[in-house]
Amino acid sequence: MGEYWDDAPPHPCERLARQEGQSNFLSLLAGIEAGPDTTEDAAALAFVDCGLPPEILVAKWAGSQLHRPAICQLVFDVMEEAGDVKDGDRIWVKAAILDAFGLFTEGHCPNGAERAKRFKARGEAYYATRKFALAMLQPMAGTLERDWIRARHTGN
């Protein structure tokens, strides 16, 4: 039975998955507890102070698409500042970053070969860019996870 069922406690950041779309503020003012209390989770998210936007953590754990344009633009800006983006490649690089965001939040994205062909980019370059963008998002989320857990469970 152990191979089909995991008795391990869930990762603490899974609490963020239920946060999107929740707002108890007005209900709590009226004395009505309408849904799960996400106050401490949101407060810990506000106290994450590692220089990264905490929305990245919500995107990872909740699959949130709310901040997709801003997060993808952040990744693009980093690539552009490093000098990795040529003027003629801007469109397909942005498409590859959007695909990486899909992998990051949902675990899947459109077929890379078809996307590269659609944007008239070399397949290897498209896959490398998508992989690089994903490799940027994952450590950012890891840093945010550590800081969020510290803020949520220790109060530091």
**3-class SS of residue 82:** coil
The residue extents of the domains of the chain are: 1-156
User: What per-residue confidence (pLDDT) applies to 36?
Assistant: 65
Which of the pair, 103 or 84, is modelled with greater confidence? 103
The structure tokens 């109060």 sit at: 155
Report the percentage of the chain scoring pLDDT > 70. 87
Side-chain-facing half-sphere of 142: CA atoms under 13 Å: 6
- The yes-or-no verdict on residue 75 having pLDDT over 90 is yes
User: What per-residue confidence (pLDDT) applies to 21?
Assistant: 61
State the average pLDDT for the chain: 86
Most confident stretch, 61-65, 125-129, 149-153: 125-129
- The yes-or-no verdict on residue 142 having pLDDT over 70 is yes
pLDDT tens-digit series, residues 10-34: 788 887 777 666 666 666 677 776 6
Which of the pair, 40 or 2, is modelled with greater confidence? 40
Mean pLDDT, residues 148-152 taken together: 89
pLDDT tens-digit series, residues 86-126: 888 999 999 999 999 999 999 999 999 999 999 999 999 99
Instruction: Count the Cβ atoms, other than its own, within 10 Å of residue 144.
Output: 23
| 71 in Cβ contact with 101 (< 8 Å) | yes
Compute φ and ψ for 125, nearest 5 degrees. -65, -40
| 58 in Cβ contact with 67 (< 8 Å) | yes
Confidence at 46, pLDDT banded by 50, 70, 90: confident
pTM of the model: 0.82
